[in-house]
């Protein structure tokens, strides 16, 4: 294969169904891993955080953060894999603008507004999964609606 990425190789050979199948399989594998990570974190989070500190307040705060953010971990593979697939066909600006827009701009706007009304650390923690979900939705919509494979053809 001489160092070429599998997506690039499949695209060069015009095996577009193979590209789509690879993306689906990668998503499934990563979702399983994310789910297992979430289960472990949810049930053993106190112990895992306890490996780094013995302060009960820090452990409790870390576990609260983990619980709030845990459900959002299921969408991270979606954003990363779809963004990577788009970059693989030469569309790099769309995932970059989407991710920066969600993870930086929307998150900061959310924090400025939400924390103004509710002074809680949970509101801050919710900023991560909220913007992960928004980013995943935007990338899925683009991925489904845009003819992204035509960019390579």
Q: Residue 148 has what pLDDT?
A: 72
Statement: residue 149 has pLDDT above 60 = yes
- With cut-offs at 50, 70 and 90, classify the pLDDT of residue 151: low
Among the ranges given (9-23, 45-59, 108-122), the one the predictor scored with the smallest mean pLDDT: 9-23
Q: Contact at 8 Å (CB) between 121 and 61?
A: yes
d(CA 72, CA 126): 9
| pTM for the whole structure | 0.83
d(CA 5, CA 84): 11
pLDDT in tens, 80-130: 999 998 988 888 999 999 999 999 999 999 999 998 999 999 999 999 999
Quote the Cα angle for 97-103-106, to 5°. Answer: 90
């Amino acid at each position: 294969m001489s160092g070429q990425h599998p997506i690039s190789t499949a695209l060069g050979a015009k095996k577009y169904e193979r590209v789509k199948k690879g993306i689906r399989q990668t998503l499934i594998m990563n979702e399983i891993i994310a789910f297992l990570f979430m289960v472990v974190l949810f049930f053993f989070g106190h112990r895992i955080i306890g490996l780094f500190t013995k302060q009960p307040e820090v452990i409790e705060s870390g576990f609260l953060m983990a619980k709030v953010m845990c459900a959002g971990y299921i969408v991270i593979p979606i954003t990363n894999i779809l963004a990577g697939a788009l970059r693989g066909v030469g569309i790099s600006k769309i995932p970059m603008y989407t991710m920066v827009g969600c993870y930086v701009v929307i998150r900061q706007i959310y924090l400025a507004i939400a924390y103004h009304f509710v002074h809680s650390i949970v509101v801050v923690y919710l900023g991560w999964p909220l913007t992960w979900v928004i980013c995943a939705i935007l990338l899925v919509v683009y991925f489904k609606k845009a003819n992204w494979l035509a960019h390579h053809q």
